[in-house]
Amino acid sequence: MKTWLVRCLLGGLALSTPALAQDEDDPYAYPDEEPARTNEQDDYEERRRKNVDQTDDFREAAEQEGEDGDFKTLSRLDDPNLGVAIEFISGALLLDSSRGETFDTRLGLGVRATWEYGRILDSEPLREALWADLRWTYGSVSDGTNFISGDTRLHYFTIAPAYELKLGKSDFGFFAQAGGGVAYQATSITVDADVTKVNGLKPLLQYGVGFRGRPRIGSGNLRLAFRVEALGFRRGYMNDFFLGGSLGTAF
């Protein structure tokens, strides 16, 4: 009986399949152990962090929506310029002649300050299209003989808004301008050794067209401002004209 039982046990052991550890089974990861990071995982975390930052930017912009549901423009951040320029003026000043001739052509000089007030409207099409000049232009004319002569000095003070038609997205464009101010005229009449001075103010209307440019200088906010223009000055019943240009800086 014992011999039969021993034989049965040995036969069962011989026929049983051995239990072997599988190579493809992953080792058990204990809670205190952290898996080693790879370069692919680092790249994935970097991309995920960038996406989160971009999402935050869009969320912040969405919180700044206007009353109509439109996003507020970020043009002030795209172009942080103040929209202010200072230019020196030079050209030909054609003065309406009091002697019945067409014009007395003289040198015209001056200076002007330009402010792009369209920037306060938060409208991208009008941002650089609307601007205004505060301008001073000077010219003089003298004529006569050794016995009697006259010397006239003219000062034009004007404020003139303008609308500029930009050439695409460039820094150049054509403009039309109209404004007003005053003309100060100082005249000295000399007869022999006697001098008589006559001064006066007249209302002034300024109008004209031209071409304007504001190319950037370097990588900063400084720009080169220049202009070529044809302007008219209406003072009383007389019409004077200015043909010239200006050069300066914008920031």
Strand partners, 196: 189
Query: Could you say which architecture CATH assigns to the domain 86-140+157-177+204-250?
Result: Beta Barrel (2.40)
pTM above threshold 0.95 = no
Give dist(CA 66, CA 78) in Å, integer. 19
Conformational region of residue 6, where left means phi above 0, alpha means psi within -120 to 50, and beta covers everything else: alpha
Helix (H, G, I), strand (E, B) or coil at 75: helix
d(Cα 249, Cα 233) in Å, to the nearest integer?
25
Q: 232 - beta bridge partners?
A: 207, 241
Whole-number Å distance between alpha carbons of 248 and 48: 48
Q: Position 172: which residue type?
A: F
Question: What is the bridge-based pairing of β-strands 148-166 and 172-191?
Answer: antiparallel
pLDDT for the residue numbered 215: 92
Angle formed at CA 210 by CA 207 and CA 211, multiple of 5 degrees: 155
* pLDDT one digit per residue (tens) for the chain, 251 residues: 556 666 665 555 555 555 544 555 555 555 555 555 556 666 666 666 655 555 555 556 555 554 454 555 555 555 667 889 999 999 999 998 766 668 888 999 999 999 999 888 877 788 889 999 999 999 998 888 888 888 899 999 999 999 999 998 889 999 999 999 999 999 988 888 888 888 999 999 999 999 999 998 887 788 999 999 999 999 988 899 999 999 999 98
- Could you give the angle at the alpha carbon of 58 between the alpha carbons of 52 and 62, nearest 5°? 140
Distance CA 178, CA 232 (A): 9
Residue 154's pLDDT is 95
